[in-house]
Structure 1
Amino acid sequence: MKMAAVSANRLELLQIADAVAREKSIDKFVVLEAMQEAIQKAARSRYGSENDIRAEIDPKSGELRLSRLLEVVELVENDATQIGLDDALVRNPAAQVGDFLEESLPPLEFGRIAAQTAKQVIVQKVRDAERDRQYEEFKDRIGEIVNGIVKRVEYGNVVVDLGRAEAIMRRDESLPRETFHNGDRCRAYVYDVRREARGPQIFLSRTHPQFMAKLFAQEVPEVYDGIIEIKSVARDPSSRAKIAVVSRDSSIDPVGACVGMRGSRVQAVVGELQGEKIDIIQWSPDPATFIVNALAPAEVAKVVLDEESKRIEVVVPDDQLSLAIGRRGQNVRLASQLTGWDIDILTEAEESTRRQEEFRNKSEMFARELDVEETIAQLLAAEGFASIEEVAYVAEDELSGIQGFDEEIASALQERAREKIAERDARYEEERKQLGVEDAIAALPHVTPAILVALGKAGVKLLDDLADLSTDELTNGKDGVLKDFDLGDEAATELVMAARAHWFADEEEGDDDTSSAPIE
């Protein structure tokens, strides 16, 4: 009868471990380890915390064995953790100093306090294992769409039950004017999973651009299969969006496939996004074509690209301006986000006026600087020349090839331009010396006489003055020291680093001096 009771207890221990493991979706051995640790803790409180007590549960039979570890020593200093060599040899003839002997302990009767302590240990261990399982499961699901049930709403933040874990969708990640109530179904995009002290935090979003891309992958088989690729997405959540698509198969129209028969596919996405209007754009490797497509439904008359600064000037007919800009600038803003280019929009009338103004200013500059007739100055401006440097150093045949010019005129123009540049640089050099800008700055890359004067006027006169500046302080904003020069961030960075070079040279010399100093 007594044996039957023991067997029942052993079986019950394994059944409890199995039940907890299934309920929490964790490994049964993790639960058994938690039980072992809890029993060890209870046994230490019973026999004394100084004892090194081990508990072991057989995963097959459920049998519990309690034992105390004793270290074999020559001179016993602590009876709880040590045993003399002579006593150890009686128990185990092969015992040696430094070995550990196991001493079996009788079964432990748990008191109320010990049982409560054991329960807390088990609960904590199981909770930690459950958190680890949740993190490992969801960290690989970043970028997926998940479905869940709204558990509660706290100050606009929605807590979603995903079945095996809880996730949170913050207020700014849910669609404007969208409300959730307890029990509602929620579909969202997993954009981040973080391991935190209170457990893994799973963050959901319905405003993320990739949420729309994943919805299209669910609705459009060609996107799911990779035949159609979604290149980029720009969203103004619950209002309007643009999505750029391209087909790897020339026989498949990517826009038509995403729209679907009578708009069935795109309408399914629109319905999920609370009526968000979606423009599906044909992607193109040519930036100008892509940007023109992205500005749809507006028509574009002309584009001018500046690839270095990724800026594009778009000219539209006068009656298309409001359509191109969109309500509160929405259309051009989304097109800019979609393409990654800064877009400036002008009407044809504005562009014409500006071009005329630029042409007049350039013509006046050439007439004044080169001391030539207005007709010649206008021809240079019309051919796209923007400065006397371009006239001075361009190949002579490019000048002589202009209608109305010959080799004699071209040679004379280049000679005048070079003389003018030499005179101007001489004036700048004199002014630079008066300002006190040292010669070391003049030897740096990308520095011109005009730049030296600008630096001097800004108080940058020594190499260290320039080395102390950042790239932004040189070129960016209204207060940039060299804002009036087309220097570029890369050149500005190179200039600053060249000015700092002597710092590193000084450090190296200091290191060499230290290493060669005699040791006293």
Structure 2
Amino acid sequence: MDTSVARPELLLVADAVAREKAISREEILEAMEQAIQKAGRAKYGHEKDIRAIIDRKTGEVRLSRWTEVVEEVENEASQIPYKIALKIQPDIKVGEYLIDPLPPIDFGRIAAQTAKQVIVQRVRECERNRQYEDFKDRIGEIVNGTVKRTEYGNLLVEIGSVEALLRRDELIPRENFRNSERVRAYICDVRKEPRGPQIFLSRTHPAFLAKLFAQEVPEIYDGIIEIKAVARDPGSRAKMAVISKDSTIDPVGACVGVRGSRVQAVVQELQGEKIDIIPWSGQAATFVVNALAPAEVTKVVMDEEAGRVEVVVPDDQLSLAIGRRGQNVRLASQLTRWDIDILTETEESDRRQEEFRRRSAIFAEELDVDDVIAGLLVTEGFHTIEELAFADPQELAEIEGFDANIAQELVQRAEECLEKQHRSLDEKRQALGVSDELVELDCFTPQMLILLGEKGVKTLDDLADLASDELIEILGADAIDEETANAIIMQAREHWFEEEGSEESQNKE
């Protein structure tokens, strides 16, 4: 019996489909083999291992049944005992297959339809995989496409033979596109999903603005000018920080172009979005000042630990620095990645004077000195009684208006005041019932011990039962971090392990 049939037309079909769908001929032939296998299993039994092979040169189709040789049969349809297989093929081994050729299938209407569905499905999968492979490395590029249709405000954009999604929230406000209109957008994400690759576009992404400038400014494309940061309020305003690697080239001027030609080309694409181009600086304070342009800044105070910066501006520059609905300061904050607080010179002066009065009053009351001496201490930079208690009397005596006796007396009074405060706090701790064991840990200030006592944490066991986030909540995030909290709790739990160890040793005895 002839167990194969030559079908040269299969090769012609495979070549034609491969050219049309831009996928490989081999993938089309594999899809055909799967279709023939499915038809074979429908005829001979779905539980059987039926395989089809198409000769890549002649188009000859060979259908066969594969039976695995095993020691113990679990599936009689696709497996055969080793002892029986030896009688059929003496040199066969366990794990190999007996291959029985099958006669070619006469495709009926239903079988042909099933085969067509399998081939179409496989071709679609190959096409989707190709599309994903083509676009997965194109994230961050700008593409031109045509609006195919609109669904609930979202645009389906055709890029070649691929559809991409431009969501409504990724469109610039008040921007409308009609079907068949050209649109330029930024590829922000490519995902591989069951229904095919999903390509997501954006016109509001900060990188879209940067890529547009790279297309308009040759110096950016060549790497001479680098865009360091971008912040956008899409459709309204944007800020972009640039730096030049060539000292002879002005980065801001190059991006603006002759009579603003380069920046205007980008502004038109972004529906009139105003763009502030500022020079980037490695000095955080200078960068913040530049970012707040066009407002003038008179003073900058940085708090690196908190990531905050306090900016003082002239009274008449406040509205300009904040911007409409806080837009200018918000964009500057996004650009510099610092939290920016803006004060006028009057507000800053009033606050400084209030702080001076408050600290002077504390020194005058606690040290029993007059306002002049208290004011001199604050002016010299003393913030707390504790700082004064640990000060060097000789350095203190060098302050104008002080002598050695006054300096010694001030330090002594500060020490006595500090000791009195500690005694008062210790009495309060004892009244709350906080044990000395917590004091001996040497991890907490007197104020912290009182906070613990007020929350019912009075013994080592109470502390050991806490989680790190609970301890941080009691003491405050400014007073303790997670790593320190974990270390303190583990230290409090050490006595548990010691007790367990002693109990185990006693049991062994």
TM-score of the aligned structures, taking structure 1 as reference length? 0.88
CA contact (8 A) 2:143 2:186 kept: yes
* Structure 1 position 329, deviation (Å): 0.7
Letter in 2 for 1:123: V
Runs of at least 5 residues in structure 2 that lack an aligned partner in the other structure: none
User: Could you tell me which residue of structure 1 aligns to residue 49 of structure 2?
Assistant: 52
Pairing 1:65–2:62 present: yes
Pairing 1:434–2:424 present: no
Distance 1:188 1:74, change over 3 A: closer
Partner residue of 1:215 out of 201, 212, 215: 212
Pairing 1:109–2:125 present: no
Distance 1:308 1:95, change over 3 A: closer
CA contact (8 A) 1:240 1:276 kept: yes
Secondary structure in 1 aligned to 2:160?
A: coil
* Structure 1 position 301, deviation (Å): 1.1
> Does 414-423 or 448-457 show the bigger shift?
448-457
Distance 1:263 1:512, change over 3 A: farther
Structure-to-structure mapping, 1:120-135, within 5 angstroms: 120-135=117-132
User: Could you tell me which residue of structure 1 aligns to residue 488 of structure 2?
Assistant: 499
Distance 1:84 1:488, change over 3 A: closer
Secondary structure in 1 aligned to 2:231?
A: strand
* Structure 1 position 461, deviation (Å): 3.2
User: Could you tell me which residue of structure 1 aligns to residue 318 of structure 2?
Assistant: 321
CA distance in 2, matches of 1:190, 1:420: 66
Pairing 1:193–2:219 present: no
User: Could you tell me which residue of structure 1 aligns to residue 34 of structure 2?
Assistant: 37
CA distance in 2, matches of 1:311, 1:423: 36
CA contact (8 A) 2:464 2:492 kept: no
CA distance in 1, matches of 2:303, 2:72: 86
Runs of at least 5 residues in structure 1 that lack an aligned partner in the other structure: 1-5
CA distance in 2, matches of 1:37, 1:417: 90
CA contact (8 A) 1:148 1:161 kept: yes
> What does the per-residue CA deviation read over 1:227-285, in whole Å, with 9 as the maximum and x for residues that have no partner?
22211111111000111111222222111111111111111111111111011111111
* Structure 1 position 411, deviation (Å): 2.2
> Does 207-216 or 453-462 show the bigger shift?
453-462
CA distance in 1, matches of 2:84, 2:348: 104
> What does the per-residue CA deviation read over 1:79-105, in whole Å, with 9 as the maximum and x for residues that have no partner?
886599789767x67556764332222
> Does 273-282 or 188-197 show the bigger shift?
188-197
Structure-to-structure mapping, 1:339-378, within 5 angstroms: 339-378=336-375
Secondary structure in 2 aligned to 1:234?
A: strand
User: Could you tell me which residue of structure 2 aligns to residue 203 of structure 1?
Assistant: 200
User: Could you tell me which residue of structure 2 aligns to residue 488 of structure 1?
Assistant: 478
Structure-to-structure mapping, 1:62-461, within 5 angstroms: 62-71=59-68, 82=80, 94-95=91-92, 99-444=96-441, 447-461=444-458
Letter in 2 for 1:172: D
CA contact (8 A) 2:469 2:482 kept: no
> What does the per-residue CA deviation read over 1:473-506, in whole Å, with 9 as the maximum and x for residues that have no partner?
667xxxx6445xxx736x3434422332157647
CA contact (8 A) 1:51 1:81 kept: no
User: Could you tell me which residue of structure 2 aligns to residue 16 of structure 1?
Assistant: 13
- Equivalenced residue count is 503
CA distance in 2, matches of 1:242, 1:95: 75
User: Could you tell me which residue of structure 2 aligns to residue 3 of structure 1?
Assistant: none
Secondary structure in 2 aligned to 1:129?
A: helix
CA contact (8 A) 1:70 1:102 kept: yes
Secondary structure in 2 aligned to 1:140?
A: coil
CA distance in 2, matches of 1:248, 1:298: 27
TM-score of the aligned structures, taking structure 2 as reference length? 0.90
> What does the per-residue CA deviation read over 1:300-324, in whole Å, with 9 as the maximum and x for residues that have no partner?
1111111111111111111111101
CA contact (8 A) 1:467 1:497 kept: no
* Structure 1 position 197, deviation (Å): 2.1
User: Could you tell me the percent identity over the aligned residues?
Assistant: 62
Distance 1:44 1:471, change over 3 A: closer
Letter in 2 for 1:47: Y
Partner residue of 1:28 out of 25, 42, 46: 25
CA contact (8 A) 1:467 1:496 kept: no
Distance 1:372 1:65, change over 3 A: same
> What does the per-residue CA deviation read over 1:433-473, in whole Å, with 9 as the maximum and x for residues that have no partner?
10112333334565211232233334443456556667776
CA distance in 2, matches of 1:276, 1:200: 32
> Does 499-508 or 74-83 show the bigger shift?
74-83
